């Protein structure tokens, strides 16, 4: 199990649509990332500490605990991974900026653009 302080290529995908979640996991796995996934913010907050993820890919519109609530919940962690919001939400870029996300990518997206964002964020490390 990786810790937040170790150098890791772990990414945590939080996406409620199963097809999109599987696509993201497959895309990132093929690029050599260790990928963890959850279908909503509640699952993500449970699994995030053990994942050692440096980067989160977060959808905004999810059941139980949506992306906005999840980003607010990250403040309770002892570290903060970098956050890329990947959403088709009309106001996604504005919401992402307001909540302090490190980037925004609109759905539908070009896979190379997503990989470039993740590479940039994973190379910047976590905030302690």
**Domain presence at residue 54:** yes
pLDDT beyond 70 at 95: yes
pLDDT digits (tens, 9 = 90+) for 40-74: 999 999 999 889 898 999 999 998 888 889 888 88
pLDDT beyond 90 at 117: yes
Strands (E), the chain: 10-14, 34-38, 55-58, 82-87, 103-106
Q: pLDDT > 70: what percent of the chain?
A: 90
**Domain presence at residue 4:** no
Of residues 26 and 125, the one with the higher pLDDT is 26
* Total count of domains within the chain: 1
pLDDT beyond 50 at 2: no
- Please tell me whether the peptide bond between 108 and the residue prior to it is cis, using omega within 30 degrees of 0: yes
**Domain presence at residue 2:** no
Burial per residue of 16-32, b for 16 or more beta-carbon CB atoms within 10 angstroms, e otherwise: beeebbeebbebbeeee
Residue with tokens 């605990």: 65
81: Cβ–Cβ under 8 A, 6 or more apart, which residues? 4, 12, 48, 53, 54, 55, 56, 74, 126
Give residue 96's domain range.
Answer: 10-123
Residue 111: count other Cβ atoms within 10 Å of its Cβ.
13
Of residues 75 and 5, the one with the higher pLDDT is 75
Residue with tokens 């907050």: 45
pLDDT digits (tens, 9 = 90+) for 10-25: 999 999 999 999 999 9
**Domain presence at residue 5:** no
Rounded CA gap, 71 and 46, in Å? 14
């Amino acid at each position: 199990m990786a810790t937040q302080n170790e150098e890791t290529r772990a990414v945590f995908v939080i996406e409620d649509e199963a097809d999109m979640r599987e696509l993201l996991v497959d895309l990132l796995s093929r690029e050599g990332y260790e990928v963890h996934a959850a279908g909503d913010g509640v699952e993500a907050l449970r699994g995030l500490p053990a994942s050692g993820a440096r980067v989160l890919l977060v959808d905004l519109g999810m059941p139980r605990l949506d992306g906005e609530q999840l980003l607010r919940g990250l403040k309770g962690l002892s570290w903060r991974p970098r956050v890329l919001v990947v959403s088709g939400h009309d106001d996604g870029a504005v919401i992402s900026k307001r909540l302090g996300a490190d980037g925004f990518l609109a759905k539908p997206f070009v896979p190379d653009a997503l990989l470039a964002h993740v590479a940039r964020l994973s190379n910047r490390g976590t905030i302690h």
